[in-house]
Amino acid sequence: MHRRSLLKSAAALATLAVSRARAAEPKKIALWHIYARDFDMIHLGIKLFNEANNGYVIEPRLIPYVQINPELIRAIATDSPPDLVVINDPDIAGYSSQGQFLDLTDRVAKSARINASSFYKGPSTSDHWRGRRYAVAREMNALSLYINDDLFRAKGLDPEKPPATWAQVLAAAEKLTDPARRVFGFGFCAHQSEQSTFQFLPWLWQAGGGIDRLDQPEATAALQFWTDLVRNGFVSRDVINQQQSEVINTFLAGNTAFAVGGPWELPRFATEAKFQWRVAPLPVKDDKKIEASSLGGFHFAIPKGAKEVDGAFMVIEQMLDASIFPQGWNTGGILAPRSDIEIPSPNWPQAYKVFRTQMITATQRGPHPQWASLSKPLQQAIQEALTGSMKPAQALAAAAAKIKPVLAKTPL
């Protein structure tokens, strides 16, 4: 009897101790992200947030880039979503249009730390669906041209005056192509995936076209331009099966004289580029003069059913603080989605200037809930044309026919 009551009081004491400890313990915010490199600015943001002792602590979970959608869908299907997740630009609308992300419009409007009007137009458009905001951009990127100065000079071209029009791109690509030295003049990505859509859209827009008008002559002009570059051997035919990073691999190896790429490639330039290089804005089509680039980047969203919504939003505020973006650019080539942030004495200053200016003309994909259903027919058309199995106009007409019913159901 005596022993039993002793046990009881011990148990009671233990329960008390546990509940006390719980009261003092900060609430956990489950954050799913894709940033494996420990110098990514998200880790700085997590550190700053966790050190602030604000009653919350971030529990990050790293998910490989290609697994973030499957993992999130699995979590939604089993009703166990994280409190905060990073999501790729074109995927946002799929979730927000189906009510799977919380409406953040009012929270952002009331926030003392986020000024919605400071965002660039592209990322802000991606965050919205039918007038309401469901995500907040974490970063942004756009495509520009990487130039190998040494190869340009070797062929008598002036890298100070990089190709600025389509005609100049074609001329430079032809001049720089040197089969004996295994150098291709130019490079872009035409991989069968979202990456080729991302890389082709700037040319489509520069020609005055759009993904909703692929059967128009503007679209044909853009795809014809790409096709001619490949068919003439100025661009390697292997770009059909190269991802963006692999195209930049060939640039860094000195086998491609200039190539389309994003700022996320910059961190490896320091060790891998054995030549002088620079960044130049994407060209314009000679008769249209439309400046355009593709917008990419990841965004923060709070899934429906998140437990710590207030805490998750505090994390978003922390991650958009000006203090973490210098690390974002200087280590990872990441640009702030806020136009009011300019990094003092940035790494790669010339590239920073060009990419930051390119942001102004960078346009988002969609937003559209079935973006993949618009993007995949375009990917196929690109590959049909580049492999020569169809003429550009014919391939694009087929793509337009597939896109039409999707847009009839849900317009852009």
Partner 1 sequence: MRRPSWLLRLFLGLPMIYLLAMIGVPIVYNLAMSVQEVTLGNIAAFARPFVGLDNFTDSLADPIFRRVLHNSVVFVLVNVAGQVGIGTIAAACFAGGFPGASTMRGLLLAAWILPGLVVGTVWKWMFATQFGVVNFVLSALGLIGTPVHWLSDPATSMTALNIAHIWFGIPFSMILVAAALTNIPGELYEAASLDGAGPLRRFRYITLPAIAPALFAVACLVAIASLRAFDVIFALTQGGPLNSTNVLPLLSYQASFQDFEFGRGAAIGSFAFVMVFGVALVYVRTLKSEQPA
∠ CA 232-234-146, rounded to 5° = 155
What are the DSSP calls for 273-314, one per residue? --S-EEEE---B-TTT----EEEE-EEEE-BTT-S-HHHHHH
Q: Does 255 bind partner 1 (CB under 8 A)?
A: yes
Number of residues that bind partner 1 (CB under 8 A): 34
Q: Does 95 bind partner 1 (CB under 8 A)?
A: yes
Q: Does 103 bind partner 1 (CB under 8 A)?
A: no
Q: Are 328 and 160 in contact (CB under 8 A)?
A: no
To which H or E segment does residue 363 belong?
strand 362-363
Out of 111, 118, 125, 193, the residue judged to bind partner 1 by CB under 8 A: 193
Give the C-alpha separation, 287 to 157, whole Å: 23
Q: Of the ranges 16-24, 122-130, 217-225, 239-247, which one interacts with partner 1 (CB under 8 A)? A: 239-247
Cα of 318 vs its chain's centroid, Å: 20
Q: Where are the alpha helices (DSSP H) in 207-283?
A: 217-231, 244-252, 269-272
Q: Does 285 bind partner 1 (CB under 8 A)?
A: no
Min separation Cβ 305 and partner 1, Å? 8
Q: Of the ranges 30-38, 39-47, 335-343, 373-381, which one interacts with partner 1 (CB under 8 A)? A: 373-381
Q: Does 192 bind partner 1 (CB under 8 A)?
A: yes
Q: Does 89 bind partner 1 (CB under 8 A)?
A: no
Q: Does 99 bind partner 1 (CB under 8 A)?
A: yes
Q: Pairing between strand 84-88 and 27-33? A: parallel
Min separation Cβ 244 and partner 1, Å? 13
Q: Does 311 bind partner 1 (CB under 8 A)?
A: no
**Residues 6+ away with beta carbon under 8 Å from 155:** 175, 176, 178, 257
Pick 95 or 300: Cβ nearer partner 1: 95
Min separation Cβ 215 and partner 1, Å? 19
How much helix, strand and coil, in percent to the nearest 5, is found in the chain?
A: 50, 15, 30
Q: Pairing between strand 298-301 and 84-88? A: antiparallel
Give the C-alpha separation, 258 to 169, whole Å: 9
Q: Does 171 bind partner 1 (CB under 8 A)?
A: no
Q: Peptide bond preceding 283: is omega within 30 degrees of 0, i.e. cis?
A: no
Q: Does 199 bind partner 1 (CB under 8 A)?
A: no
Min separation Cβ 379 and partner 1, Å? 8
Q: Does 380 bind partner 1 (CB under 8 A)?
A: yes
CA distances for 15 relative to 5, 7, 205, angstroms: 15, 12, 65
Min separation Cβ 374 and partner 1, Å? 11
Site string for partner 1, 353-372 (x = CB under 8 A): ----------------xx-x
Q: Does 373 bind partner 1 (CB under 8 A)?
A: yes
Q: Of the ranges 142-150, 156-164, 231-239, 315-323, which one interacts with partner 1 (CB under 8 A)? A: 231-239
Structure tokens at 158: 């002036």
SS3 402: helix
Q: Of the ranges 25-33, 67-75, 197-205, 314-322, which one interacts with partner 1 (CB under 8 A)? A: 67-75
Pick 323 or 389: Cβ nearer partner 1: 389
**Residues of the shown chain interacting with partner 1 in the complex, contacts defined by CB under 8 A:** 69-70, 73, 76-79, 94-95, 98-100, 182, 191-194, 236-241, 255, 369-370, 372-373, 376, 380, 383-384, 387, 389
